[in-house]
Amino acid sequence: MDEVQDAPGGPGTPPTWSSSDKDMVTTALGPSRVWATLGHGIVNEVYWPSTGRPQIRDLGFIVAGPNGWTEVKRTERYLLSLPRPYVPLPSVVHEGDDFRLELEFLPHPLRDVLLIRFALSGEGMKLHALVAPHLNGMPTNSGFAGADLMASEGEAALCLYADTGFSRTSAGYVGTSDGWQDFARNGRMTWQYPAARNGNIALIGELAASNGILALGFSQTPEGARTLARSALADDYNETRTLFVSGWENWGRTLKLPYASPETRHAAELSAMVIKVHEDRTYAGAVVASLSVPWGASHDDAGGYHLVWTRDTVEAAFALITAGQFEDAGRTLDYLIGTQAPGGNWAQNYYPDGRGYWTGKQLDEVALPVLLASKLRAVGHLTNSPPEMAMVRTAIDFIVRNGPMSDQDRWEENAGASPFTLAVVVAALVTSADYYAGADRDYLLSLADCWNERIEDWTYVVDGRLGRDLGLPGYYIRLAPRPDEGGPEGIVSRRNVMHGDVPAGELIGMEFLYLVRTGLRSADDPRIVATVKLVDKLLAAQTPAGIGYYRYNGDGYGEHEDGAPFDGQGVGRLWPLLTGERGHFALAEGADVTPYLEAMMRMVGRGGLIPEQIWDSADITDFGLETGKPTGSAMPLVWAHSEFLKLLAAHQTGTPAEQFDAVVTRYRGAPPVAATWHWRETSAFSRLPAGRGLSIEATQPLSLHIGFNNWRRVKDVQLVENGLGMFVYHLHPEALTDISSVQFTFFDPAREQWLGRDFKIDIVGK
């Protein structure tokens, strides 16, 4: 290979990635490690050997004949079908003016190979396969064209082989000497370059017959990829197909879905399959957010959504539990035990092997695995094991030390107090309390009560500007900065728009609905009802598909006004998963959830996949944007399919998947009167209701210099470490009966210095 002459035009034009507009996703249930996605009727991504490692941009086809040539992905004249909604064996039929191309896409269950069965009909027509390697997600590859098509980059290689052979092949550089450029300039395949190295390359092969099977094999070496491709073609195709189908049918028959209309059941089975496809096998239990890169066709991105977000993964596991797939959800819990950091948290997101990608810390992503363990226990699938108990306790330790404020909210944009994060954190503290005994258990429940009671202090505004037109007394906001940064009166910076700073009180989202969903507040709480009215006015939009919702007012995560792809800034669009969240609230208030389920079923792509976002404006054909249909964001979004399944299950049971008896019993939908308020510098308060205890806390062994009623009765005490890593000085209510104020400051014995700030808490309500 080293002696052949490279094609001209290297290194080619700068690469972009694949469109996130997917028709279908597929993988086999077996030892093979290949995941493929289809878009525009062709393969437009393949992942190997895990869901976090994309290897090709696309594999498409050109049909050429006496009257010219057609690249089938550009014509949009095709139909897609599956044998059953939970069997991802896609068949695609492309229709041209003078040809018909039938394709079937079959991941081999036993080998790291994608098989494509093709049948072309039409007088004098020739079929050409084009593959654009992007091995290891890298833009620079080397490719070779001979009896087969080969490419390599580092320790990754592919081979595209045909059982009927190629009559000619060529390797070229994208934009200069690739096969598509050959057709564009010459109207037919005339170039036969044997190699294109160290560039953005593409390979093309003219198939020697109109009917046959292609095998795309992956391995660490070109020789290994060729061996796998040829071996897969030596296997009987029908036997391989039967093995693939039986694996999925055996799994699909175990689904336990609510009785529903045929259309709804079809969507539910498809959603369950989509979640299952996104599970890794090299790292069993890992579920990536999406086998796609949002707006990938406009840029190149090594990350994309083919990463594990703990939040999305747990949402998927909850959905699988509602569908009776306890084993699948249990594997996810085991995987999360394996990826937990020593400190108790999880990386913001990470590759399936556990390597972190982004570096933020999000409290909801620490609380949700605890809730997953609680859910598996509740359905009788999990008994306390040492690894599971260690995971829960380490996660709770992290929450106790770092809560209640989070470095990032669930949209990964801002620090502070989020109703969503607070809801799942409080629920995690309560559901995990029985992992502890004695003083530690009492402390956890006391902390949960305090944080629960103070949710409105942190996230509810009275007489806010957004509610005045509706005459609302107040409403929950999307997020408030930390108390020392202004709290609800502080400023939130929207990072995806120009001049994004906005008062926290003028930013609303749907995070507060989880207060109802987890059982911390009732659906008829006047504050909840008022905020729902505001959400329905400011965040809801009617589309031909049904009602959709924005993440928050002024969001910029979406296409620009003219439809151009999001490039760090844009205009936020409607999220189908939020339609599901609004549906869960409708359930809680006794309304019909069917319109929300049906809307989500219509907000889908050609193959029924639910996207991250749908378009909310007039159609823009140049960008393929249609009102109420998917945008260029991620599709499918596992979280959206999970939300659909959970809403369907809740429609039958009347109870959200994230609701636990221990939480409902303790709070009964109303904020508690906490016996003790827990003061930390990160969630400080200056007023304490009379009759409450006071716990002054730090994460390090400090000395406390404390006085009462304007520095009288001054004393020095040492904070005492509890069993959860906090250093505490506790004052019982009786010790504060004749106290109007408490003053204190800290001294660090290790550094032999005062920390330089005095604090005061007034006792109010006497």
- Token pair in block for residue 697: 């806390």
pTM of the model: 0.97
pLDDT at position 463 over 50: yes
In this predicted structure, what is the pLDDT of residue 301?
A: 72
Confidence of residue 1 (pLDDT cuts 50, 70, 90): very low
What angle (nearest 5°) sits at the alpha carbon of residue 415, between those of residues 576 and 573? 25
d(CA 68, CA 412): 50
270: number of CA atoms within 13 Å, CB side? 29
- Token pair in block for residue 571: 């205009």
Which of helix, strand or coil describes residue 78?
Answer: strand
Burial state string for 297-336 with b = 16 or more CB within 10 A and e = fewer than 16: bbebbbebbbbbbbbbbbbbbbbbbbbbbbebbbbbbebb
Per the CB < 8 A criterion, the answer to whether 218 and 49 are in contact is: yes
d(CA 449, CA 444): 9
Contacts of 585 (CB under 8 A, 6+ apart): 513, 516, 517, 523, 532
In this predicted structure, what is the pLDDT of residue 225?
A: 98
pLDDT for 176-225, tens place per residue? Answer: 999 999 999 999 999 999 999 999 999 999 999 999 999 999 999 999 99
d(CA 603, CA 221): 42
Per the CB < 8 A criterion, the answer to whether 652 and 258 are in contact is: yes
In this predicted structure, what is the pLDDT of residue 469?
A: 87
Q: What's the distance, CA 122 to chain centroid?
A: 44
Q: What's at 190, amino acid-wise?
A: T
- Structural domains in the chain? 24-250 (2.70.98.10), 254-667 (1.50.10.10), 676-764 (2.60.40.10)
pLDDT for 550-601, tens place per residue? Answer: 999 999 999 999 999 999 999 999 999 999 999 999 999 999 999 999 999 9
In this predicted structure, what is the pLDDT of residue 766?
A: 55
- First-to-final CA distance of the chain: 88
For the chain, give the percent of residues with pLDDT over 70.
99
d(CA 159, CA 170): 14
Which of helix, strand or coil describes residue 366?
Answer: helix
pLDDT for 500-546, tens place per residue? Answer: 999 999 999 999 999 999 999 999 999 999 999 999 999 999 999 99
* Residue 128 host element (H or E): strand 126-133
pLDDT for 144-163, tens place per residue? Answer: 999 999 999 999 999 999 99
In this predicted structure, what is the pLDDT of residue 495?
A: 86
For the chain, give the percent of residues with pLDDT over 90.
95
pLDDT for 475-500, tens place per residue? Answer: 999 999 999 999 999 999 998 898 89
pLDDT for 644-686, tens place per residue? Answer: 999 999 999 999 999 999 999 999 999 999 999 999 999 999 9
Bridge partners for 693 per DSSP: 676
In this predicted structure, what is the pLDDT of residue 3?
A: 65
488: number of CA atoms within 13 Å, CB side? 20
| Average pLDDT over the chain, rounded to an integer | 96
pLDDT at position 422 over 60: yes
Which of helix, strand or coil describes residue 632?
Answer: coil
Parallel, antiparallel, or unpaired for β 712-718 and 727-731? unpaired
In this predicted structure, what is the pLDDT of residue 4?
A: 76
Q: What's at 195, amino acid-wise?
A: A
For the residues 128-152, what does the mean pLDDT come to?
96
Per the CB < 8 A criterion, the answer to whether 346 and 408 are in contact is: no
In this predicted structure, what is the pLDDT of residue 529?
A: 98
pLDDT for 29-53, tens place per residue? Answer: 999 999 999 999 999 999 999 999 9
437 vs 367, 428, 433, 444, 720, CA distance in Å? 20, 16, 8, 10, 18
d(CA 121, CA 99): 6
In this predicted structure, what is the pLDDT of residue 302?
A: 66
For the residues 392-398, what does the mean pLDDT come to?
98
Return the closest-CA partner of residue 302 out of 336, 353, 339, 351.
Answer: 351
Per DSSP (E only), the strands in 175-249 are 195-199, 201-207, 211-219
pLDDT at position 63 over 50: yes
- Token pair in block for residue 735: 């010790």
